[in-house]
Amino acid sequence: MKLHELTALIRSKNAGPFVLTFDIIFRDRQAYERTRAAGVVSTQTFADLFHVDEAKVRFFDCENALAMKFSIPRPVFQGDIGDTDMHGGQQFVPLMNIEVP
């Protein structure tokens, strides 16, 4: 099953001009626990998908909200030449098709 089928919301946004943050909010506890147990959403997953050093990926597990949150350095600072997404709102797309067994 694809990650987007287990979630209520997957989004990305700026966390200041130098950081992107990603929220993965699950539709229910079963979907959250299934994904968590599978280990397919991890700092390594983010490092691979977004081409950053794993040591720079910050992970926050928000069990009470049935959510996972990740933050990574923006590849291009907000508003700098080459920035294609000023608000960071379209960066979540690669997460949607993560396969969750």
> How far apart are the C-alpha atoms of 19 and 75, rounded to whole Å?
9
Supply the pTM of this predicted model.
0.93
Report if residue 90 sits inside a domain.
Answer: no
CATH number at residue 59: 3.30.70
> How far apart are the C-alpha atoms of 82 and 22, rounded to whole Å?
21
Of how many residues is the chain composed? 101
**Cβ-proximal residues to 16 (8 Å cutoff; 6+ apart), any chain:** 78
Q: What letter represents residue 90's amino acid?
A: Q
* Domain span including residue 62: 3-77
Select from 94, 101, 92 the least CA-distant residue to 25. Answer: 92
The pLDDT of residue 13: 97
Report if residue 38 sits inside a domain.
Answer: yes
* pLDDT tens profile 7-51: 999 999 999 999 999 999 999 999 999 999 999 999 999 999 999
